Structure 1
């Protein structure tokens, strides 16, 4: 038994920690809001499990069904084009490179495609991206993903699966979605790694 506030913090952190997904889905005390948040990052099979285990109103049931279908379509799209360095470059050239591809590559621990994507999106040389990742700095990686115009959830996936940032040093999404860092703090971390704060960036 945990308080709702604590559960919300766990859900916010769980997006990048796959072993937590099933235990969350299996909880009996999930609110509709919690279920919807969980469904944004768990697998298609676990979305289906959410629907089976909980007494849902019609709107929530339809919403979960739509999420499951979107997951199927994303899997199909991913199977057509492997998440390689070349795929990242091609997607960037065509204006398709974004959160979905970077998170997908990060979750599969495909480091070089992620480095390439961050380099292209942020306008930063690949060796500087490597330096940020090798630092295992959750704040530095989050700042770089912000500059690249990516979501905080993508930043968490990069921290977890590519940089292997220690759990205690992970920067977690605020309310499960937003960057928790202030813009001046983000700019400070970019400058620390010698990266200009201008260019593509995401609003906070």
Structure 2
């Protein structure tokens, strides 16, 4: 089966490029999906992991992010990490305006998640070593499969979710400061031996390495071309 690769905050060469237009353009031009963060600031939806401490002009708004996606004729998946409550209607309005359909939202509070589900927006529920039973599983489109301290899950859990027609997005180990040498070989074996109508995705800082790095070892030196 195929695995879709999501570039965590874009395809960045320097941490300062995270969630910036240059990183998003690199990722989309390479055919990768994107995981990014959405919050509100002074009445606008912006792309930012943290609350703004700088001038808002230094930060990309969600509308411009979607405009870039359309400009590049992209069709890869967008994973929108919702950082503020009460944004469902506005998120839906912006994505609909730009005719973006390949996306999901995740990581909002449970009451806020109900609002997205009520508007029929695709939501992923989280599962981790601290959240063994994913909330609102039946209503969710997929599972955000996280591992904060160790790779606690195996291929069998992924297979179970896919068999339940739930898409799965696995969080790569380097996002939590660990080597990917255990996770990536397991995922490679899984996609070679399995097939499913549901989607399997990997959110990673190194999407360009997945099909080329046989060791699965974190290599900070290899980044993207400008």
Question: What range is the shorter-chain TM-score in?
Answer: 0.3 to 0.5
The structure where strand makes up a greater share of residues is 2
Structure-1-length-normalised TM-score: 0.37
More helix as a share of residues: 1
